[in-house]
Amino acid sequence: MQGSEQLPPPPGGRSQEGNGLRDDKPLLVFFTSQRSGPARRMESLLAHLARKERTRVRVMRVDVESQPELAARFRVDDVPTLVLVKRKRAVDRIAGRASAPTIEAMLARHLETRAVA
C-alpha cells in the first residue's frame, strides 16, 4: 500500500490480551490475503475507516495465509471478510468486497453514538 495509511499489523501469534483487546472498544477484524484482488482493493478503504472511527472502533488486519488458525477460529471461508467483535464475541460480519456505506451501516448497528444533551 504505497502512499496510503497502513492498517495495524496482524496479531503475530500474541494473545488477545497482548493485542490490547482488554479495552471495551469494539474491534473490526479485516481478514485479507495478498492473493485476493478484492481484499487488496479494500486496504485503503479500511485504513481510512480506521482513522475516521479511531475513537469508536479499532481495526485489525489479519492475513489468512499467515494466520490460518485465527481465520479458522472466526470461520472465515472467503477473503475479504470483516468481523466485528464486541466484548470478545463476533457480533456481525461481511463476507466479500464491501463499500464504505455498507461497512459504516454495519458499524452504526453496533457502535454507541454519543448523544448530545
- The full set of domain ranges for the chain reads 22-110
In the block, residue with C-alpha cell 466485528: 84
Q: Which three cell numbers mark 51?
A: 482513522
Encode 23-35 in three state secondary structure. Answer: CCCCEEEEEECCC
Query: What does the pLDDT read at residue 112?
Result: 72
Q: Which three cell numbers mark 64?
A: 489468512
Classified as helix, coil or strand, 84 is strand
Amino acid at 114: R
Query: What does the pLDDT read at residue 23?
Result: 63
Give the fold, CATH level 3, of 22-110. Glutaredoxin (3.40.30)
Query: What does the pLDDT read at residue 22?
Result: 53
Q: What is the pLDDT of residues 3-22, one digit of tens each?
A: 333 444 544 444 344 444 55
Query: What does the pLDDT read at residue 24?
Result: 80
Evaluate if pTM is beyond 0.85. no
Which of 34, 87, 37, 90 minimizes the C-alpha distance to 62? 34
Task: Write out residues in the chain with pLDDT < 50, as ranges.
Answer: 1-8, 10-20, 115-117
Query: What does the pLDDT read at residue 111?
Result: 87
In degrees, rounded to 5, the angle at the alpha carbon of residue 80 between the alpha carbons of residues 75 and 82 is 65
